[in-house]
Structure 1
Amino acid sequence: MSRFMFIAADVELPEIDLSGVLRLTVKDLKSMSPRPKSFWDLDKLSDDSKALVIPKDADTTGLQISKCSNPPHETGEYIKKKYIYWLGGRFNSKWKKQFQEYLQDNFGEGTYFELWSLWFGNDKMDEILQEECNFVDIANFDFDKLLNTDCCITVIM
């Protein structure tokens, strides 16, 4: 069983990754000075191979929104919006600030979207909590609901 979190909307959204994780090619890694430590011998890997690098002091808790091109098959039973994105990060004060800025930059007044948290893998879904939240109240919203409850939060701009 696994919990998945999504943002769903009727419009396409820009993807964002403030996780601090770098996505580089092996060629990029080879050119770095000093070379990052690796489990693999970089000289034996193809230059166009992809690598994830987490810098030593990186804060990996930032906001992440990425297109959900391969959602769990049950997702369509719940989410009816045209566009579905993975929602990630740790719901701390930094994340909330990043999320507010993202919303301000990408949604106009009178629009809305849905935040979903769904637990897949059991025979039937528990009751899904349905709530609304106005954008002006998002700073005080309890995002822990997304971690602990099957829910759909409609955010109204």
Structure 2
Amino acid sequence: MAVALDRSGYRFLWSLRASPNILTEELDDYANLEEILPEGFLDQTSDRGKVIGWAPQVVVLAKPAIGGFVTHFEWISMLESLWFGVPMVMWPLYAEQKVNAFEMVEEMGLAVGIQRFIKGDLLEGEMETVTAEELKRAIRSVMEEDSDVRNRRERN
């Protein structure tokens, strides 16, 4: 993700949270981002990017400056993005996210997908690795002024 954001060349806000605690299912913020991000990432992207912990998603998506949203595509995130007209890059992991992604990418053309085929679920199946190049390409596809996804969003 970090490499793709860096290589995309676009400004970004990245809400990066630790995996949920298995007992409480609560997400935590990382204590030290430099320990988990590629060396030098924060310095080399400091003029165009910000990595934070929790963010008020609705407030962020409501900002006119937001040009795209990389999301796992759960129902609420999808609806909030549609409500505010923010084009999406979707990265479904499990449950209804795959169906939501199919509808938005294949049927409506309102999002760009980075994983078309997922074998099984996150816990039970085999997941394909998404490369930085694939994610960068999807981000650029959503952010380009003349992209199909951006044009469809503006018409709806």
**TM-score higher than 0.5:** no
Higher strand share: 1
More helix by share: 2
TM-score norm. by structure 2 comes to 0.29
Query: Which fold has the larger relative contact order, with Cα–Cα distance below 8 Å and residues 6 or more apart in sequence?
Result: 1
Higher-Rg member (1/2): 1
